[in-house]
Amino acid sequence: MDLGLTDARVLVTGGGSNIGRGIVHGYAREGSRIVISDIDGPQAEKVRDEALALGASQVEVVAGDLTVAGVAESAVAAAAVSWGGLDVLVNNAGWSVPGFLTDDVDRDRWQKTVEINFFTAIAATQAALTPMITAKKGSIVFIASDSAFGQIRQAVYGATKAAVVALARTTAKEQGRNGIRSNIICPGLVIPEGPEAVGAASLWSVGQDAVFDDNQIAFLQKDTPLRRLTTAEDVASSVLWISSDRAARQVTGQMFSVSGGYTMP
């Protein structure tokens, strides 16, 4: 099915590593115009080159920390100024360090988790709404997590992702009158496909075992009906569908788990 995303103007936050990289690759295969916003400039530039090789019409990189005022506006402006508007925003920027709630006592880390997972989504959404409201159309996809429903070792992270769900649904209710759709994708655990899929600033840069070791992965798979882990490509395919006005024009305010059935919201 032609999703109608050829030359679509797309901004992907956290587009340099793992899930974000997979989403950028997905839009590239559709021939979209893509802005990659990421704190890791060198990794984002590598993904830009990959996206162009995969068929992206144009790719811009805006390197910067989205928790800093003005960076989200710069990322939106890269599309709005160069290409005359923004059709799709994917709020993917995220970060977590798994740990039991009783052990997670570092308040600075709580603050960092809130700022990266939640504040960046607020900032990017507010920035994107200006050109979308002017155009009377747009699609915003929020990457939340199955942790939003309550998962072991994900208390603070999951709470920030639950906040993202509320933000997305409020956006859908407020902006539907402007032709703007807002939806949520909740990925299961996504292991990077290789060292090329993560940059130095990625939470996975410390090594897979430091995030999820083999025993934890096996435990998760045992409780997953499809008995397989989610890939970045799985997430990207769902994002492409939900962002397409041709495929999902009447879908807004909805949440989809892409986890092999691990959760069924």
Domain ranges of the chain: 9-258
State the average pLDDT for the chain.
93
Average pLDDT over residues 108-126: 96
SS3 9: strand
- Between vectors from CA 230 to CA 226 and to CA 236, what angle results, nearest 5°? 130
Whole-number Å distance between alpha carbons of 240 and 247: 9
SS3 229: coil
Give the CA distances from residue 135 to residues 6, 8, 85, 210, in Å, rounded to whole numbers and listed in that order. 18, 13, 8, 45
Average pLDDT over residues 223-244: 95
Band of residue 210 on the pLDDT scale cut at 50, 70, 90:
low
Whole-number Å distance between alpha carbons of 35 and 53: 15
189 compared with 56, residue with greater pLDDT = 56
In this structure, are strands 138-143 and 88-91 parallel, antiparallel, or unpaired?
parallel
Band of residue 97 on the pLDDT scale cut at 50, 70, 90:
confident
Q: Please check the confidence at residue 208 and state whether its pLDDT lies above 70.
A: no
- pLDDT of 201 reads 65
Dihedral (CA of 202, 208, 211, 216) sign: positive
Whole-number Å distance between alpha carbons of 245 and 229: 29
Reply yes or no on domain 9-258 having CATH 3.60.15.10: no
- pLDDT of 219 reads 74
Exposed, middle or buried by CB within 10 Å (0-12, 13-18, 19+), for 143? buried
Q: Please check the confidence at residue 211 and state whether its pLDDT lies above 80.
A: no
- pLDDT of 129 reads 98
The mean-pLDDT minimum among 17-21, 103-107, 232-236 falls in: 103-107
Residue 14 Ramachandran class (φ > 0 left, ψ -120 to 50 alpha, else beta)? left
Whole-number Å distance between alpha carbons of 31 and 224: 34
The structure's pTM equals: 0.93
